[in-house]
Structure 1
């Protein structure tokens, strides 16, 4: 399984302490099979503790969430925009509440599941605060609207499968009917090929 190992060291003075972490990791999420889809996504992590820490360790899965199926044809880039507008001069564009709220309005998002945060204490003086994260990319089931020819292809495969089963059942029934004389039958003698036609001279 593919995964990301992320490590961040934050320099701190001896008088500074960390009691909580709010972390946003941004990703470029791309699909190239069945549906062509490109978006800028994120994983949000928030943890707080009562005692100062020296390190935060996180281990989770980046999962795709869909509110509607993707399109089959064309390149879908409706969400290929930065989650955080880094060029904006306005402080409101960096407000965490607004960033998360705008992100949740999307029909397709990513989320960090089962992060299992571990808070380590006992930071030495002048030592940095460390964030260690392991993020896995598991296999996903993607919902999309199939195209016409794809529907025809799978419909034909299903039709042939049902047809073969029907022919096998019909052959078994026909054999049973004739072998067990369920229907009254009168055998007719085979007529030689030469007697099918006779010449009449008038």
Structure 2
């Protein structure tokens, strides 16, 4: 019967055996115990295939010059907006307002930080007190790295107006625009335009409720929120005796680096899988070789030893 080589040692000593023998069974078990455990170890420790990774990017955020201001009190509702349709709908509560904005860029420890500065001047015919102020600011939000994403987002500012204010009042609000995601981005998918505008008149027969708009927005897969970090109210001395009340709202929106969750592409998973597999394979390969050397050199399994000259 033909003999087959099952193991060689130092390229001079060869161990031969028959096809159906304990040496063949032992060699087969060594092969399985060498190459399969690194695969299972990497897979069950959630490191072999990356289902989700993270990366950092500074988004490109542009203020769209769109806003909605709602001041609700026990006595009256005050409203102003950049949208003419909403102004017509709330014409009985409409107050005049002017908007200015600019975006400086400055560096902090080597990181370029974007900050959108928005100023809204609102004129009231009477004083406001014990009111809730809601300011909706609309931005265009873009990511330009792994997934390309471009969408309209919202920054909602909610303030409680103090009970005692002078005729001219200013409020300064500092915060940052934070990105939220219900599921990771897909790196190989192009989100060039998703989710549509915040207020889509095409889906409403009349002007929609702001509560419904906010509920629909926060139920999106990807959305932003304005996280307030500092609020200061101040009374500005009046230079005349007019009965006009002026409210100046200054908002500084910081846009720092943010962390995003994403699903890596197939080749990224494949590359990391092989790196982790070979890293785990080395110790198993070393132990298996030592075990085979011990078994064959001590004759624990029956073989025919052949020596090369």
Take 2:123 and 2:210, find their aligned partners in 1: how far apart are those partners?
A: 23
Aligned to 1:52: 165
Aligned residue for 1:117, secondary structure, equals: strand
Say what the alpha-carbon RMSD is for the aligned residues. Answer: 3.4
Structure 1 length normalisation: TM-score? 0.70
Structure 2 length normalisation: TM-score? 0.48
Which range moved further: 4-13 or 152-161? Answer: 152-161
Q: Is structure 2 residue 186 aligned with structure 1 residue 71? A: yes
Take 1:123 and 1:20, find their aligned partners in 2: how far apart are those partners?
A: 23
Aligned residue for 2:269, secondary structure, equals: helix
Aligned residue for 1:128, secondary structure, equals: strand
- Among 108, 116, 123, the alignment partner of 1:11 is 123
Q: CA deviation at 1:163?
A: 5.7
Aligned residue for 1:103, secondary structure, equals: helix
- Cα deviation code 1:95-134 (max 9, x no counterpart): 2211111111201110111343222235636463111111
- Cα deviation code 1:65-96 (max 9, x no counterpart): 111111222322331x1112368885542x22
Per the alignment, do residues 89 and 154 of structure 1 end up closer, same or farther by CA in structure 2, a change over 3 Å counting? closer
Count of residues in Structure 1 that have an aligned counterpart in Structure 2: 175
- Among 135, 142, 147, the alignment partner of 2:260 is 142
Q: CA deviation at 1:151?
A: 0.7
Per the alignment, do residues 160 and 84 of structure 1 end up closer, same or farther by CA in structure 2, a change over 3 Å counting? same
Greater fraction of residues in strand: 2
Return 5+ residue gaps in structure 1 as ranges.
175-182, 185-195, 197-202
Any residues of structure 2 matched to 1:148-167 within 5 Å, and which? 148-162=266-280, 166=283
Aligned to 2:221: 107
Whether the 8 Å CA contact 1:40–1:83 is kept in 2: the answer is yes
Take 1:148 and 1:20, find their aligned partners in 2: how far apart are those partners?
A: 50
Take 1:5 and 1:51, find their aligned partners in 2: how far apart are those partners?
A: 27
Per the alignment, do residues 129 and 27 of structure 1 end up closer, same or farther by CA in structure 2, a change over 3 Å counting? same
Q: CA deviation at 1:57?
A: 1.0
Whether the 8 Å CA contact 1:36–1:73 is kept in 2: the answer is no
Return 5+ residue gaps in structure 2 as ranges.
1-112, 291-296, 299-308
Whether the 8 Å CA contact 2:123–2:246 is kept in 1: the answer is yes
